[in-house]
Structure 1
């Protein structure tokens, strides 16, 4: 079938990275077509009214923003707002038979006092400050490179300029640095969680998948801050879609790309849309899909399988639950990240159990409340009644645990996760849940297999696969396109097909970096 039209660039997938790429290319005068299989843009970064008859727009899949560079927002004229959280985290604990906890944030004096209350001395707080200073130095130096051509490994090491920090984060399993820096098991666990979000690995995994995950979780904006998107995550991707359209990009939703044929100079993209099958020509194709999805479109052998390892639970509450720790204010504890069963030894035990094929007996997870920072996602009547949202993100729950019976495993894990949560509450969480129009509790859970089905994430992996260190491969200059795609970390085996999704080097998270870098490669910059 002859191509119906031809564009300078066709972008496969209208997730946030595809929209960023479309906006940059269109602003540079290129003709751009975005083809998105869903009825809307945004991919995993969308807002939904999850519960029937309840006017609360939750960030259903992705929920916080750290890695989206201010540079991209400024270049594209985005008018989205991000708000700082007043507190970083609260971790409940039991010491001496009494409930207590570690509150980080609210000012230096409050954080120091909380460390002292938990550990009985200032040692762990001093160690915390030193460790945070180390990651801050790395963040300040590494984050700006994410929107530049890939440095070499040696070049990035020289830029970091701190041999001890380089060894701790880039060379040796992060567990070694954590154990050397801290003595308290709970403090060690709080630090380690940044290495395990969406990544199934132990603190001492020799492959360093946990280190790569840790790196991207502590360098955002050059500070490591994780901010709340005002209006929810959908507000961010709606703004990106608006920027792409305003620049002249054409966006067609409900159009699923079925194949891509390329010869290095031109390409033909086949799709299935509301009006039937069609094809379109392109000088370049930018694929905002996983490496597995890219291989399927090109008819190539698939890369190694990816496996997600997270459990996502969305909730709407009538009110926040009271905590067993009498010194903890729920409005402070849930304003940041509320850690559950994430002591260092607890995390290790959960990983061992999952690696052996069993769900963690006490599932580790973390919870945050969007509406304490941004109540705008709630109907004013819900906000006036004191309703709050809670988002729970479970760790060490690999897709393999759900392969036999996803629905049954989901229900059992939800029960175990809520039981672990309840251990730190003065009242059962179930009694605080709001109900929907049909009288059902406002709670939904999503496993890796659910994410694979709903979002085409391979194995439910939120990063499309394990993250990569942000440096160039040794053969980047010898790539088929003269090195442009390889130098930006977005190359495929076809010179005019680029990977612009989370599976690109420096992909993962809601960042737009994959889209920016693919656009720069396509423009030859």
Structure 2
């Protein structure tokens, strides 16, 4: 059968755009269908607050997993900047406000901070020993994010056996309880296992999440995209147009029907056909398009965007430009995190809510426009253990926002309200997004930012690798010409572009010579 196009890509987020660009540049006829009226998906940049020029990444935030090799292949004008600080965690010890500072490259100031917090050098020595092993783990596994899926046994042989055992085989919580005596230090390490994941630290889901947070580009460093995530989305959209991708927005796909040598794609206005269909949407959405029953994943986070006239002072006395320059951990001691998980399982949000706060504008003031000269800053608060099911009752988002802001306010020396900017309508510049908002606005089932549970970035030794889709980790069970291309691919998620990249490679490998 003669098809309308070689490839139809369903979903115009960053993964769908990447797949479209690479395939169009390879000479294939590509059509991109997006349900929303604009492209960019969760990476889009917006002026969230009326009358103010700050352009925020409303849904996504930092970049770690986006491979430098992919950016080079795409030829994107993408600049990623390192943050000056890795993290700061305010706390109160013996009635005195203080905090744990971790530099981007931990040195004397970090060592002194550990000593002040814990009263000895043991915690610092444990930290350096643990992260030396994590760094070696990341360096070994980072390359496994690229190319066809490697076998589990191959990667295991490249990692120190004790490190593999601790980070892969044993529950992360068990390892942290053994390695670190201080509850706060345990919690700071543990948070990388929980972002977007509603799990106990004794669940293997925490291990998988932790792995993805430490292997990006072999280092796991989370960097700030200059211009915000919206700059990435804009650059991809322009590249797609220049490559000749046929883009249709406001075009929801209703069904997919595979017919041997082609796939029929049904939309609200008719149907089109292609040799391959790449789905840059959640796996559960693909099942729905195929007429299958599928359990909907459940997101578990609260995101609060803020615009401030100035950064607030902290009770510990640290310079706000240092405290907010990296990740500010709030109520994220190890016991706090486990308690918040238990409460969520019982149907209650923790109050205060464990949170992380990022100030992108300290690293990239360009997103502020002329507000930067006036001392304005953005803050992005990311609340943990906030599953979608807890937002189904009236007022839940407001209560969750209050619990998140309370976590921040408890460590401030002044009211946060005094620092918030006011928009053109006279309202404080604070906007919250729950998993249900992500589902409504982005079509993301359950508001799950990873589109479902994360998988390890390898294939089991006995796992089939007979087709290009299986080899690249983008296979849809029971389908031959329909593939995954989004965050739900084997190595997707984390604004990495890997889903789109691997799907495009699977098509190119499988096309006739």
State the TM-score, normalized to the length of structure 1. Answer: 0.94
1:490 to 1:410, Cα distance in 2 relative to 1, 3 A: same
- The DSSP-based 3-state class of the residue aligned with 2:486 is coil
Give, in angstroms, the shift of residue 245 of structure 1: 2.4
Residue equivalent to 2:255: 259
Q: Is the 8 A contact 2:144 2:458 kept in 1?
A: no
Count of aligned positions: 508
Residue equivalent to 1:233: 229
1:140 to 1:347, Cα distance in 2 relative to 1, 3 A: same
Question: What is the aligned counterpart of 2:270 among 278, 281, 289?
Answer: 278
Q: Is the 8 A contact 1:305 1:458 kept in 2?
A: yes
Q: How does 1:357-368 map to 2 (within 5 A)?
A: 357-368=347-358
Q: Distance in 1 between matches of 2:236 and 2:179?
A: 41
- The DSSP-based 3-state class of the residue aligned with 1:191 is helix
Q: Distance in 2 between matches of 1:170 and 1:458?
A: 28
Q: Is the 8 A contact 1:16 1:45 kept in 2?
A: yes
Question: What is the aligned counterpart of 1:17 among 6, 15, 18?
Answer: 15
Residue equivalent to 2:444: 457
- Which range is displaced more, 223-232 or 395-404? 395-404
Give, in angstroms, the shift of residue 154 of structure 1: 1.0
Give, in angstroms, the shift of residue 152 of structure 1: 1.5
Q: Is the 8 A contact 2:308 2:420 kept in 1?
A: yes
The answer to whether residue 72 in structure 2 is matched with residue 97 in structure 1 is no
Question: What is the aligned counterpart of 1:397 among 383, 386, 399?
Answer: 386
Residue equivalent to 2:238: 242
Question: What is the aligned counterpart of 2:83 among 60, 82, 85?
Answer: 85
Q: Is the 8 A contact 1:476 1:483 kept in 2?
A: no
Residue equivalent to 2:141: 142
Q: How does 1:28-427 map to 2 (within 5 A)?
A: 28-105=26-103, 108-160=107-159, 162-205=160-203, 208-272=204-268, 277-302=269-294, 304-326=295-317, 328-380=318-370, 382-405=371-394, 408-427=395-414
Residue equivalent to 2:435: 448
Gaps of 5+ in 1: none
Give, in angstroms, the shift of residue 474 of structure 1: 5.3
Q: Is the 8 A contact 2:64 2:223 kept in 1?
A: yes
- Which range is displaced more, 226-235 or 151-160? 151-160
Give, in angstroms, the shift of residue 248 of structure 1: 2.3
- The DSSP-based 3-state class of the residue aligned with 1:159 is coil
Give, in angstroms, the shift of residue 261 of structure 1: 1.1
CA RMSD of aligned residues (A): 1.4
Give, in angstroms, the shift of residue 476 of structure 1: 4.4
Give, in angstroms, the shift of residue 139 of structure 1: 1.0
Give, in angstroms, the shift of residue 142 of structure 1: 0.9
Question: What is the aligned counterpart of 1:439 among 422, 426, 429?
Answer: 426
1:443 to 1:100, Cα distance in 2 relative to 1, 3 A: same
Residue equivalent to 1:515: 500
Give, in angstroms, the shift of residue 475 of structure 1: 5.8
Q: Is the 8 A contact 1:363 1:394 kept in 2?
A: yes
- The DSSP-based 3-state class of the residue aligned with 1:258 is strand
CA deviations over 1:58-116 (Å, ceiling 9, x no partner): 01000100000011001111111010000000000111110000111165111111111
Q: Is the 8 A contact 2:153 2:461 kept in 1?
A: no
State the TM-score, normalized to the length of structure 2. Answer: 0.97
Q: Distance in 2 between matches of 1:266 and 1:476?
A: 26
Q: Distance in 2 between matches of 1:476 and 1:352?
A: 35
- Which range is displaced more, 283-292 or 249-258? 249-258
Q: Distance in 1 between matches of 2:406 and 2:195?
A: 21
